Amino acid sequence: MNRQIRRLTVGVLLCFLVLFGQLNRIQVFQAQELQDNPDNTRQVVANYSRPRGTISTIDGTVVARSVEVDTALRRQREYPEGELFAQISGHFSLHFGASGVERTYDTELAGQTPELELRNLADLFVDRDRSGSLVLSVRADVQAAARDALGDRPGSVVALDPRTGEILALWSWPSFDPNLVSSPDIAQATEARSLYLLDPRNPMLGRTYQERYFPGSSFKVVVSAAGLESGLVTMDQPSYDRQSTWTPPLTSRAITNAGGSVCGGSLAEILRVSCNTAYAEMGALTLGPDVMAEGAEAFGFNSRPPIDLPAPALSVFPTDYGEALSTPGADQPDPAVPGTVFENTPSLAQAAIGQHDVSATPLQMALVAAGVANGGNIMQPHVVHELRDADGGLIERYEPEVWRRAMSPANAAALRQAMIGVVTSGTGTSMAIPGYEVGGKTGTARLAEGTASTHAWMIGFAGPPGETPHVAVAVVVLAEEGAGEQSGGRVAAPVARTVLETALSPAAPPVTPPGSEPEPDPGT
Amino acid sequence: MTELRSLRRRVELGLIVLIAIITASAYALAGLGASASLPADLLPFLGIVLGLLLVAHLAVRRFAPNADGLILPLAALLNGLGYVFIARLDNDLAAPQATWTAIGIGAFVATLVLVRRPRDLQRYRYTFLLAGLVLLILPFTPIGFANLGAQIWVRLGPLTFQPGELAKLAMLLFFAGYLVENRELLSVSTFRIGPLMLPDPKRLGPLILALGAALFIFVQQNDLGPSLMIFTVFLVMIWVATERLSYLVLGSGLFVVGAYLAYTQFAHVAPRFEVWLDPWRPEVIRGEAYQIVQSTYALAQGGLTGTGLGLGNPERVPVVTTDFIFTAIGEELGLVGATAVLITFLLLVGSALRLAVVAEHPYDKLLAVGIATLIATQVFIIVGGITRVLPLTGIALPFVSYGGSSLIVNYVLLGLLLRLSHDVTTRQLRKVEAEAAAVPA
């Protein structure tokens, strides 16, 4: 019998070895693959249940916080202001992932950055909340002013500090309620999300930085800068013919001025009255495709702005205008010589007034205004001001960095003066704020040839006289069915003024940075 | 003789104290992990664990002083770890499991007191057969009921229990007695089929009966586990008793054929196999395969070193306190902890098998083999089911899973093991002493 018992022992050992081998397979070799299986919601639920830091504005308004709930998930995300900050904070959903700051700063909020983890290495055995809290550069009062000024017209408002790139307001209407989308109740969350997705105006999209529109005449600031930087245009030369229409070469389609008015002259004058004929000629013939593209790209067109929000859209300036066909005063076409006509010069003329295939996000147009305001330097835009630990200790503060050097300081100063002229005596007079230096540029972008509907744009800046402006702004009020023509100066400029005014007023003193687990709100 | 005895008991006492500390530490860690505070009842807990183990230890000292000092601490470690996990997973089960543990220790002591010589049990073999069969059929009588799809429960007044757990003990004792009586006859082959030498068909009756009973229960209970377990124990015991491999080969072959027939003939058996073969199909991943898939995710989450006690999410796996408790261990203690549990079982089974080798009387040998096989098979079936080595079938992990019937029966088995160990050692020591006395000075 002992022989059998010994064999049995070997058999038992082999069986256990099989178990050990299979455990190794599951727990070590396949572990990553199993954790990445889309059916496996463990990681998602673990992330959802973990303490998560608070997001608040720089003036102390709570944007998002975690509240403890008596369910298996332990915690739930709450957005006390509802729609107001939705496109900045985004949502944090068990079922649909995260968007906005909740997404870009996920590891910080969850306390999983090396800094946050190292900070707490000492108290491994103490129950400590390791989550990080975010303080946004956004000001709740400016954000609310943007919302109130825009009202129920679809559109977007971006306000930022040109000196630092800090976003002060980022609003677009319609917005969405992140509380609904972040509901742990899958039925409620799915229904809310489906309704938002059905809305053609796309409320859940961060349209301030993720959607592009024709910039219209507001793009003339970029064309002016391109001209000044190239040296082909100065404040005095050339002076464009005073006329009401101008027809580019190779086409019979004339470019007209708003209301059929007659205009022309040098840079400051044509910017002040937003002279289409002059800018079309400047772009198409004085500057040409290369200078135009270079100028647009100097402001950040054709690249994604490095904002700390997910998936920013890039603004587009087309660069291909075909072969050079003829150069005036030369036998052979020379693309390097100004005045050369290209296959697509008519399109270039359209592009120079912000039509054709030019499209820009509201954020990009705000950065254009900010660049001019800040001596030609466009600062990296960002919505997060600083990161704090759960006890309020400062971990990291955002340091301003230059993103693009769009213009020389001298040219920027000149263009800035020209933009101030637009507000003092041009198309943007309704943006003027007594006691401050305000500059701007209107835009009225036609959606299609022959339609009346237009997007109304206003970009600009404001600050105490003699100082670098404190605020830059971009407002777009979108064309609505049957709304007819809405001009930037009449429709968008008042919104921009309200936002600038609010932003110029001193901010409420920053409150002590909040912890991630706030006191229960007695009102709810 | 007294030297070895006192050494073994001192080892046992030392290990018991160590295991009480390990259990209490795990309990404290689970409390820290789950609620970030030390359990308020930590010291009373340590006291109770130590107290229960000391009662068992003193009983061994009194009634089986020569027994192997490793067996009780190994079981205590499994029981303690199991309790910590049960208390951490479902606080409502902590008190009943503690009560069951106390009763289990009582059963252990009672076994040591009542069974003075294991061979005495041989006399009652047919009583055990009858008891075993009755217990197996009990769930299909009016007092039986099904829970979670398995028809394995019986209700008597306020008490519910799984008679199958007791049945396996009864059947084990019957097999040992029956096989010792008939091993000579069963090992004589009278005819052959191909290369297989078979005994008199008349002698094969019990084998056929056991096979039939196993398959009947398998189909009726919709549960492969208990029948596979009893049948494996029977096959191993008859193989060891007769020293004829043909029983093992033929028996396993017949079982495979029977299982295959059940698979093709009975509608409710097939899905279990299909889930086993591929649980990732979209049509079952949230249905029949949910449990095994969630369990696999839990093990993957645990990885090499685990999430830490109280820090995982084992509650996401259904019935984690009973059939799937090994998953919770694998998740929170990782591959390291899961392997430690497997090694503990291996040491326990190994102790029993060593005893079987050392024992002289065939009944003692068979009983030890049976107990070892019973524990090993249960571990292999449930851990194999969890890790998809076998089709999943609900069965308790001995000493670890929640459940009174299983715990009590396992403690009775443990008592028998220690009783055997004591007897075998005592006899050997006497022999050595007699030999020493015979040698002229």
Nearest CA in chain A to B368: A5
Torsion angles phi and psi, residue B248, rounded to 5: -65, -45
Q: Does residue A257 form part of some domain?
A: yes
Average pLDDT over residues A271-296: 94
Taking contacts as CB-CB distances below 8 angstroms, the residues of chain A near B236 are 8
Using pLDDT thresholds of 50, 70 and 90, give the confidence band for residue A268.
very high
Shortest distance between the Cα of A19 and any Cα of chain B, in A, equals 6
Q: Does residue A137 form part of some domain?
A: no
Domain of residue B206 covers 2-438
Taking an 8 Å cut-off on Cβ atoms, the answer to whether A27 and B236 are in contact is: no
Taking the mean position of all CA atoms in its chain, how far away is CA A5? 76
pLDDT at position B283, please?
81
Q: Which of A2, A10, A12 to mutate to test the interface with B (most CBs of B within 10 A)?
A: A12
- What are the beta bridge partners of residue A459? A441, A474
Using pLDDT thresholds of 50, 70 and 90, give the confidence band for residue B14.
very high
Percentage above 90 pLDDT, chain A: 67
**What is the per-residue burial (b if ≥16 Cβ within 10 Å, else e) of B181-219?**
ebbeebbeeeeeeeeeebbeeebeebbeebbebbbebbb
Percentage above 90 pLDDT, chain B: 42
How many helices and strands (H and E) does chain A possess?
Answer: 19, 21
pLDDT at position B203, please?
67
Q: How far is CA B286 from CA A95, A125, B72, B271, B315, in A?
A: 16, 37, 42, 14, 16
Separation of alpha carbons A51 and A110, rounded Å: 7
Shortest distance between the Cα of A447 and any Cα of chain B, in A, equals 47
Q: Judge contact between A278 and A270, C-beta under 8 A.
A: yes
Least confident of A402-416, A466-480, B281-295: B281-295
SS3 state at A128: coil
Separation of alpha carbons A126 and A108, rounded Å: 20
Whether the pLDDT of residue A52 is over 70: the answer is yes
Q: For chain B, how many structural domains are there in total?
A: 1
Question: Using CA of residue A272, residue A273, residue A274, residue A278, what is the dihedral sign?
Answer: negative
pLDDT at position B160, please?
79
Using pLDDT thresholds of 50, 70 and 90, give the confidence band for residue A515.
very low
Whether the pLDDT of residue B319 is over 90: the answer is no
Average pLDDT over residues B312-319: 83
Using pLDDT thresholds of 50, 70 and 90, give the confidence band for residue A514.
very low
Taking an 8 Å cut-off on Cβ atoms, the answer to whether A16 and B32 are in contact is: no
pLDDT at position A118, please?
66
Using pLDDT thresholds of 50, 70 and 90, give the confidence band for residue A482.
low
pLDDT at position B148, please?
65
Q: For chain A, how many structural domains are there in total?
A: 1
pLDDT at position B64, please?
93
Taking the mean position of all CA atoms in its chain, how far away is CA B43? 30
Nearest CA in chain B to A49: B313
Q: Which of B238, B244, B357, B360 to mutate to test the interface with A (most CBs of A within 10 A)?
A: B357
Separation of alpha carbons A32 and A168, rounded Å: 41
Separation of alpha carbons B9 and B4, rounded Å: 9
pLDDT at position A124, please?
53
pLDDT at position B164, please?
81
pLDDT at position A445, please?
87
pLDDT at position A520, please?
42
Tell me the per-residue pLDDT of B160-214, one tens digit each, with 9 for 90 and over: 788 888 888 998 998 899 888 888 877 776 666 666 666 666 666 766 776 677 6
Separation of alpha carbons A53 and A129, rounded Å: 9
Nearest CA in chain A to B242: A1
Average pLDDT over residues B139-154: 76
Q: How far is CA A73 from CA A43, A180, B167, B228, B294, in A?
A: 12, 17, 42, 39, 17
Torsion angles phi and psi, residue A377, rounded to 5: -95, 125
Structural element, H or E, at residue A396: strand A394-397
Structural element, H or E, at residue A324: strand A324-326
Separation of alpha carbons B314 and B321, rounded Å: 9
pLDDT at position A523, please?
38
pLDDT at position B143, please?
81
Q: What mean pLDDT is reported for chain B? A: 86
Shortest distance between the Cα of B356 and any Cα of chain A, in A, equals 7
Least confident of A447-451, B2-6, B326-330: A447-451
Separation of alpha carbons B20 and B33, rounded Å: 20
Tell me the per-residue pLDDT of A307-355, one tens digit each, with 9 for 90 and over: 999 999 999 999 999 999 988 888 888 888 888 999 999 999 999 999 8
> Bigger pLDDT: A513 or B140?
B140
Average pLDDT over residues B328-353: 96
Torsion of CA B292, B296, B302, B303, to 10 degrees: 160
Taking an 8 Å cut-off on Cβ atoms, the answer to whether A23 and B299 are in contact is: yes
Taking an 8 Å cut-off on Cβ atoms, the answer to whether B357 and A5 are in contact is: yes
Q: Does residue A119 form part of some domain?
A: no
Q: Does residue A38 form part of some domain?
A: no
Least confident of A262-271, A320-329, A442-451, B290-299: A442-451
Is A217 a residue of the active site? yes
Q: Judge contact between B421 and B67, C-beta under 8 A.
A: yes
Q: Which of B32, B297, B379 is facing A42, going by the closest CB pair? A: B297
CATH of the domain at A496: 3.40.710.10
**What is the per-residue burial (b if ≥16 Cβ within 10 Å, else e) of A62-98?**
bbbbbeeeeeeeebbbbbbbebbbbbbbbbbbbbbeb
Structural element, H or E, at residue A92: strand A92-93
Cα radius of gyration rounded to whole Å, chain A: 28
Q: Does residue A211 form part of some domain?
A: no
Alpha helices per DSSP H over A426-469: none
Residue A420 burial (10 A CB sphere; 0-12, 13-18, 19+)? buried
Structure tokens at A113: 């950055």
Tell me the per-residue pLDDT of A203-231, one tens digit each, with 9 for 90 and over: 999 999 999 999 999 999 999 999 999 99
Q: How far is CA B388 from CA B285, B317, B335, B384, in A?
A: 14, 15, 16, 6
This model of the complex carries an ipTM of 0.93
Average pLDDT over residues A71-96: 88
Taking an 8 Å cut-off on Cβ atoms, the answer to whether B313 and A23 are in contact is: no
Torsion angles phi and psi, residue B269, rounded to 5: -85, -35
Highest-confidence segment of A352-356, B41-45, B70-74, B320-324: B70-74
Q: How far is CA B149 from CA B153, B223, B392, in A?
A: 11, 9, 14
Work out how many CB contacts closer than 8 A connect A with B: 112
Helix B125-137 vs helix B205-221: crossing angle, to nearest 10: 20
pLDDT at position A153, please?
92
**A511: number of Cβ within 10 Å:** 14
Q: What mean pLDDT is reported for chain A? A: 89
Catalytic entry in A56, A89, A217, A430: A217
pLDDT at position A437, please?
95
Tell me the per-residue pLDDT of B215-268, one tens digit each, with 9 for 90 and over: 677 667 666 677 788 888 888 998 999 888 888 888 888 878 877 877 777 766
Shortest distance between the Cα of B243 and any Cα of chain A, in A, equals 6
Taking contacts as CB-CB distances below 8 angstroms, the residues of chain B near A39 are 280, 285, 293
Q: Which of B302, B379, B389 is facing A22, going by the closest CB pair? A: B389
Torsion of CA A185, A190, A195, A198, to 10 degrees: 170
pLDDT at position B192, please?
66
pLDDT at position A522, please?
42
Domain of residue A443 covers 216-382+404-504
> Bigger pLDDT: A130 or B191?
A130
Shortest distance between the Cα of B354 and any Cα of chain A, in A, equals 9
> Bigger pLDDT: B200 or A285?
A285
Tell me the per-residue pLDDT of B331-343, one tens digit each, with 9 for 90 and over: 999 999 999 999 9
Amino acid at A167: I
Taking contacts as CB-CB distances below 8 angstroms, the residues of chain B near A18 are 384, 389
Question: Using CA of residue B88, residue A109, residue A515, residue A69, what is the dihedral sign?
Answer: negative
Using pLDDT thresholds of 50, 70 and 90, give the confidence band for residue A524.
very low
Q: Which of A20, A125, A127 is facing B339, going by the closest CB pair? A: A20
Tell me the per-residue pLDDT of A384-397, one tens digit each, with 9 for 90 and over: 999 998 888 888 89
**B371: number of Cβ within 10 Å:** 27
pLDDT at position A229, please?
95
Taking the mean position of all CA atoms in its chain, how far away is CA B4? 29
Q: Judge contact between B332 and B141, C-beta under 8 A.
A: no
Using pLDDT thresholds of 50, 70 and 90, give the confidence band for residue B308.
confident
Q: Mind spelling out the 3-state secondary structure of chain B?
A: CHHHHHHHHHHHHHHHHHHHHHHHHHHHHHHHHHHCCCCCCHHHHHHHHHHHHHHHHHHHHHHCCCCCCCHHHHHHHHHHHHHHHHHHHCHHHHHHHHHHHHHHHHHHHHHHHHCCCHHHHHHHHHHHHHHHHHHHHHHHCCCEEEECCEEEEEEECCEEECHHHHHHHHHHHHHHHHHHHHHHHHCCEEEEECCEEEECHHHHHHHHHHHHHHHHHHHHHCCHHHHHHHHHHHHHHHHHHHCCHHHHHHHHHHHHHHHHHHHHHCCCCHHHHHHHHCCCCHHHHCCCCHHHHHHHHHHHHHCCCCCCCCCCCHHHCCCCCCCCHHHHHHHHHHHHHHHHHHHHHHHHHHHHHHHHHHCCCHHHHHHHHHHHHHHHHHHHHHHHHHCCCCCCCCCCCCCCCCCHHHHHHHHHHHHHHHHHHHHHHHHHHHHHHHHHHHCCC
Percentage above 70 pLDDT, chain B: 91
- Choose among B5, B68, B55: nearest CA to B351: B68
Nearest CA in chain A to B364: A1
Tell me whether strands A62-68 and A55-56 are parallel, antiparallel or unpaired. Answer: antiparallel
Cα radius of gyration rounded to whole Å, chain B: 22
Name every residue whose Cβ is closer than 8 Å to that of residue A169 and which is 6 or more positions away in sequence.
A138, A139, A142, A143, A145, A146, A157, A158, A159, A499, A503
